Structure 1
Amino acid sequence: MLSNRQITELLSSMIQNGQPGVLATVVAVQGSAYKREGAKMIIEQNGDYHGMISGGCLEADVAASAEEVFSSGNPILKKYELDEDLVWGLGLGCPGTVEILIEPIDSSRLGQQMADAYAKNQAIVVCKLLESEERPLLVTEANVFGDNWADEILQESTMMMAAQKLAQQTPSSETIFLTKKTGEEVRVFFDVTIPPPKLFLFGAGHDAIPLAHLGCTLGFHTTVIDPRPAFNTTERFPTAHSLLTETGQIDTRTYCVIMNHHLERDMESLAYALKSDALYVGLLGPRIRRAKIMNHLKEQGITFSNKQLEKLHSPIGLDIGAETPEEIALSIMAEITAFRNGHQGGFLKEKAFIHKPTRLLAEKQS
């Protein structure tokens, strides 16, 4: 099955080519469910579908409902009660209530603007007023596209919430209650798409190979940086997106791992990464080596602010007893994933929730 990012790429292509289709999106989840808000599925006119919105129990029914959408041209909001007998009997996931918006793929001017944003890998939020005929709003970091809503207070609140989403590292798609100027509460679905995070690996040694592969597998745009042509090759790193002899552009969605196994190169890489916009900087090796590197940098007059030092993770990784390069890669990517999602990386045993509790009802506008 295609990932959500591949679904948005397919959606962009279909819009740009004027290819008819239906888009099904999970807009609300209460309790537990196999997929969360924002999961998507595309249904073609011939009945073929791409993507997953559940563990397999809803796709066929949603594809059948798409026929009605093809015929009428009108969206449908369907609610499914996934009881425990159904989901566990089919081995599909967890019980819960799921709402799915099934709508025609929009090839209008607004749809083209959305497709263009997807194609350019921009961070965007598509804001949809559920149970309403209002057209969606498309909010990017620079612009807002779409027709004005009838309720300007509601539109302003929606745009503010979308802007807050775009300012977050890992914003989630979700449905939120907002208040109209009449005092009525309505539901707005915020469909968030952000560029893939970047993983910069400073060093192309043997232990960087499984780390680059795992980073790519987890959806990171992975770059390996090493001046040694015999090490930094496509044969050694076939899945990496970029192989560089010197560093590339680091932004606030970049995670850096320093693993040159060379003192001077580690010093240079660490100084560069800590002073960059990178959100996370991990240094391979024990604390005694980190102290040696920091002392050498201090002797050279290179110092760092407290904010820059807060980005440093050393020793790097979660404590899982990793020894092999593959285990070390798992430890490092587990820590980066936990950090990126705002989790501590501990055991789930006896936890009340596997994911954060749903905010559909709890997160209302005050």
Structure 2
Amino acid sequence: MKKIFEAYHRASAQQLKTALATVVALEGSSYRKPGVRMLISEDGKMTGAVSGGCVEKEVLRQAQSVFKDNIPKIMTYDGRYRLGCEGILYILIEPFSPSVSVVDNFQEILKGRKTFQVSAYYEKKDATNPLFGSMFTLGGTPQVFRDDFKPDSSLSIFKQNMSPCFQLFIIGAEHDAVQLSSFASKTGWEVTVVADVSEEKNISDFPGALDFISCLPEALETEQIDHQSAVILMTHSYVKDLKYLLRLSDTEPVYLGLLGPAKRREKLLNEFLERHPEVSDSFFDRIYGPSGLNIGAETPQEIAVAIIAEILSVVRDKEPMMLKNKIGRIHS
């Protein structure tokens, strides 16, 4: 949704109409699930996806009537004989032209890391209807995606709760931190790089990073580290890692990774306990070190993949395994 609003801003600056495509229902199985979205602009550019790549061309074709008459529609896509997924997708395509106040409110949601709900009104059949449409709700106040949309409770409603974007705090500024920043941002995470003031680097050195903080460990502000956050210590300095770990002792990220071998981890945690003996047991439950899954990673790029994979397994509460050994459906 964040990328969609960004794409809308670019398109509106060029005075291009945009349409929002949302998978609102599914029969059977599919590569993507209800709630995935894609923004289409008049010039054919697409942001996001509603499938593994097979449906997008048809959505683009169907969106032309929405650009022409500004009336939303439902299109169905039967993938049983084309995608091999044995599923039928119901996709809502609607004009996307939120007002300035709605765009501003959405930006406040992002900054405040607030949870909100998106609701889409539709019928489960191929149809064109001016009553179809979507909105998000914040504090009980509806924020419509186009000014002429008024929710009709007689229609089917797809509701989706949207949590704040997942955050990754990378504490360290060496080459492996650069690679992790790049890979994590491509995953869709909001990346903040934290570096000691002695490091002569800035945000331009970290592809995909949203923010760069240069500070001493004692001065690190930790209020923004919440349950939708992961932190990894990778300064390559034992002393710095210890100081940052002490600063993080009152935080509750879902994952706190330590780069380096097990022997270094034990030494680090023992010294941490000597200095901060009153820390809760739950703090240690969130620590993962050596950070990353055992996939034979050697290069900085491979190590980044291993770390991201482990964070995902923790966040999704999944035991890593080869899918060929999984019994039953691949996706839940």
* TM-score clears 0.5: yes
Identity %: 28
Matched, 1:76 2:70: no
- Aligned twin of 1:101: 92
- Aligned twin of 1:125: 117
Matched, 1:10 2:7: yes
Letter in 2 for 1:283: L
8 Å Cα contact 1:38/1:192 also seen in 2: no
Tell me how far 1:269 sits from its aligned partner. Answer: 1.4
8 Å Cα contact 1:318/1:332 also seen in 2: yes
> Cα deviations across residues 284-305 of structure 1 (Å, max 9, x unaligned)?
2233322222222222244321
- Aligned twin of 1:87: 83
Find 2:225's aligned residue among 231, 235, 251. Answer: 251
State the alpha-carbon separation in 1 of the partners of residues 88 and 195 from structure 2. 49
Letter in 1 for 2:225: D
State the alpha-carbon separation in 2 of the partners of residues 259 and 298 from structure 1. 20
State the alpha-carbon separation in 1 of the partners of residues 161 and 11 from structure 2. 19
8 Å Cα contact 1:274/1:309 also seen in 2: no
Tell me the SS of whatever aligns to 2:6. helix
Alignment of 1:158-173 (within 5 A): none
Kindly indicate whether structure 1 or structure 2 has the higher relative contact order, using CA contacts under 8 Å at least 6 residues apart.
1
Alignment of 1:140-155 (within 5 A): 140=138, 142-145=139-142
Residue ranges of structure 2 left out of the alignment (5+ in a row) = 124-128, 145-149
Question: Quick one: structure 1 residues 291 and 69, their matched pair in 2 at CA, closer, same or farther if it must change by over 3 Å?
Answer: same
Find 1:116's aligned residue among 94, 104, 118. Answer: 104
Tell me how far 1:98 sits from its aligned partner. Answer: 0.7
Matched, 1:209 2:181: no
- Aligned twin of 1:294: 269
Tell me the SS of whatever aligns to 2:317. coil
Letter in 2 for 1:125: Q
State the alpha-carbon separation in 1 of the partners of residues 276 and 51 from structure 2. 56
Matched, 1:310 2:285: yes
Letter in 2 for 1:66: A
8 Å Cα contact 2:26/2:88 also seen in 1: yes
Question: Quick one: structure 1 residues 231 and 32, their matched pair in 2 at CA, closer, same or farther if it must change by over 3 Å?
Answer: farther
State the alpha-carbon separation in 2 of the partners of residues 322 and 45 from structure 1. 43
Alignment of 1:56-67 (within 5 A): 56-67=53-64
State the alpha-carbon separation in 1 of the partners of residues 231 and 136 from structure 2. 32
Question: Quick one: structure 1 residues 233 and 42, their matched pair in 2 at CA, closer, same or farther if it must change by over 3 Å?
Answer: closer
- Aligned twin of 1:50: 46
8 Å Cα contact 1:224/1:244 also seen in 2: yes
Alignment of 1:331-342 (within 5 A): 331-342=306-317
8 Å Cα contact 1:274/1:281 also seen in 2: no
Find 1:321's aligned residue among 282, 287, 296. Answer: 296
Find 2:244's aligned residue among 247, 269, 292. Answer: 269
Question: Quick one: structure 1 residues 79 and 134, their matched pair in 2 at CA, closer, same or farther if it must change by over 3 Å?
Answer: closer
- Aligned twin of 1:26: 23
8 Å Cα contact 2:178/2:207 also seen in 1: no
Question: Quick one: structure 1 residues 227 and 59, their matched pair in 2 at CA, closer, same or farther if it must change by over 3 Å?
Answer: closer
8 Å Cα contact 2:94/2:132 also seen in 1: no
Tell me the SS of whatever aligns to 1:281. strand
Letter in 2 for 1:139: T
- Aligned twin of 1:158: none
Tell me how far 1:318 sits from its aligned partner. Answer: 0.9
Find 1:138's aligned residue among 136, 139, 150. Answer: 136
What is the RMSD of the two structures over their aligned residues, measured on CA atoms? 3.2
8 Å Cα contact 2:179/2:304 also seen in 1: yes
Q: How many residues are matched?
A: 309
> Cα deviations across residues 237-296 of structure 1 (Å, max 9, x unaligned)?
344333322234432222100122322221221222241142211112233322222222
Question: Quick one: structure 1 residues 130 and 274, their matched pair in 2 at CA, closer, same or farther if it must change by over 3 Å?
Answer: farther
Letter in 2 for 1:102: I
8 Å Cα contact 1:225/1:244 also seen in 2: yes
Residue ranges of structure 1 left out of the alignment (5+ in a row) = 89-93, 152-179, 181-185, 357-366
Question: Quick one: structure 1 residues 134 and 218, their matched pair in 2 at CA, closer, same or farther if it must change by over 3 Å?
Answer: closer
Find 2:235's aligned residue among 260, 276, 301. Answer: 260
State the alpha-carbon separation in 1 of the partners of residues 53 and 151 from structure 2. 36
Alignment of 1:231-250 (within 5 A): 232-233=201-202, 236-246=205-215, 247-249=220-222, 250=224
8 Å Cα contact 1:15/1:112 also seen in 2: no
Letter in 2 for 1:61: E
State the alpha-carbon separation in 1 of the partners of residues 151 and 41 from structure 2. 30
State the alpha-carbon separation in 2 of the partners of residues 325 and 269 from structure 1. 22
